[in-house]
């Protein structure tokens, strides 16, 4: 089982769209895939029309594995399941801090899934917290969407520094350009500069696309309703690069 986190310490960079579409791309390649919505806003679940279970909202279910497994819902697509966002994630950081060895807690829980899934994709909330540190430790790779603008690049550099300072494995980081507008000079230039500095940047990028924005209307992965869209297909290319990197 490979764990791929989709993370950015900045909001609005296309993180949830990335998680949803990468999870779909993985499932379409025949890999049994679980998308975990760790973001309390619960947008991944919304895209798949999955309601969070009322019963489970009030349970700190990382504490008990059965609760965790029971909360998983099948999506409408083959090979793709979803762990809908749960309100207790807000309290998850507190919960984790109370526990000894809290940083390996997520890993232990995810291990229970080993036989069920080839790929687990974590859609993470945009902050650096104990939960995200858990993710940094647990994930095999961390995909980071970066909009080629000064501010977005700066946040990525901050993340990189944070990894360095805290001795997390920086080779786990897989940044890629998101919401790219080739017509913008700034985007183009930023991409060229950043590619020089970060060799780990993925070759493929996600262009800005109104089809991706329409995911909220269709409530489905973008390829399912806009299969011919360039941006839609860029996700499967990015997924290929990730697959090659994690060797599955």
Partner 1 sequence: MDPFTYFLPAAFNQKKLLKNIPSEPQYGLSLEKTEVWQGILLDTFDEKMLGSNNMLFQVGERLLCFDLQSGQLIEQASPETWSFSFDLPDGPVTSILKGISSLRAFLPVAKVELYLQHGTLLDDERKTRARLHHLTISRGGKTVGVGSAQYLRGYDQAHADLCQSLEKLGAVSRGDVGQVYEFLKIKREKYISKPVVRLNPDAPVKESAQTIINAFLKIARRNEKGIIADYDTEFLHDYRVGLRKVRSVLSLFKGVYSPEDTDRLKQDFASLMQKTNSLRDLDVYLLNKKQYFELVPEDTHEGLEILFHYFAGERRKEQKLVSQIIKNKTYLKEIDRLQKLFAEGAALIAGPKAEEKSIAFACRLVHKRYGKVCSIARGIDEKTEDEAIHQLRINCKKLRYLIEFFAPIFPENEIKTLIKSLKALQDNLGNFNDYSVQQTFLRQVLSEKMGGFGGTELKVAESVGALTAMLNRLQQKERRQVMKNFALFDNSETRATLAKLFNTKESVHENNRLLQ
User: Binding of partner 1 at residue 35 (CB under 8 A)?
Assistant: no
Q: Comparing C-alpha atoms, which of 75, 85, 72, 83 is closest to residue 27? A: 75
Closest CB 54 distance from partner 1, rounded Å: 12
DSSP assigned state of 51: P
Q: How far is the CB of 51 from partner 1 (least distance, A)?
A: 7
Angle between helices 130-138 and 89-98 (to 10 degrees): 80
CA-CA distance, 213 to 215, in Å (whole number)?
A: 5
Task: Tell me the site size for partner 1, rule CB under 8 A.
Answer: 13
> To 5 degrees, how large is the angle CA 243–CA 197–CA 133?
60
The nearest distance, CB 52 to partner 1, in angstroms, is 11
> Between residue 50 and residue 109, which ones bind partner 1 under the rule CB under 8 A?
50-51, 53, 70-74, 76, 81
Nearer to partner 1, 74 or 94 (CB): 74
Question: Can residue 203 be called a binding residue for partner 1 (CB under 8 A)?
Answer: no
Provide, rounded to whole angstroms, the least separation between the CB of residue 79 and partner 1. 11
Which residue do the tokens 């995911």 mark? 215
Instruction: Look at residues 180, 175, 239, 177 and name the one whose alpha carbon lies nearest to residue 209.
Output: 180
Is residue 20 involved in binding partner 1 (CB under 8 A)?
Answer: no
The footprint of partner 1 (CB under 8 A) covers: 48-51, 53, 70-74, 76, 81, 219
């Amino acid at each position: 089982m490979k764990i791929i986190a989709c993370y950015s310490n900045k909001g609005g960079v296309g993180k949830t769209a990335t998680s949803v579409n990468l999870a779909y791309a993985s499932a379409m390649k025949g890999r049994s895939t679980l998308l975990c919505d760790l973001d309390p806003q619960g947008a991944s679940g919304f895209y798949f029309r999955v309601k969070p279970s009322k019963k489970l909202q009030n349970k700190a279910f990382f504490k008990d594995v059965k609760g965790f497994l029971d909360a998983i819902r099948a999506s409408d697509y083959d090979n793709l399941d979803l762990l809908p966002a749960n309100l207790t994630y807000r309290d998850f950081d507190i919960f984790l801090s109370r526990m000894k060895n809290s940083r390996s807690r997520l890993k232990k829980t995810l291990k229970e899934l080993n036989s069920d899934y080839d790929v687990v994709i974590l859609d993470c909330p945009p902050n650096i917290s104990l939960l995200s540190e858990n993710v940094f430790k647990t994930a095999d790779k961390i995909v980071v969407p970066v909009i080629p603008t000064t501010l977005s690049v700066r946040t990525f550099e901050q993340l990189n520094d944070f990894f360095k300072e805290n001795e997390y494995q920086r080779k786990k980081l897989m940044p890629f350009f998101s919401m790219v507008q080739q017509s913008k000079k700034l985007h183009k230039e930023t991409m060229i500069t950043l590619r020089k500095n970060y060799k780990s940047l993925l070759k493929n990028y996600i262009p800005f696309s109104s089809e991706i924005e329409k995911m909220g209307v269709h409530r489905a992965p973008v390829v399912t309703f806009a299969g011919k869209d360039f941006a839609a297909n860029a996700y499967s290319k990015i997924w290929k690069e990730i697959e090659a990197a994690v060797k599955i």
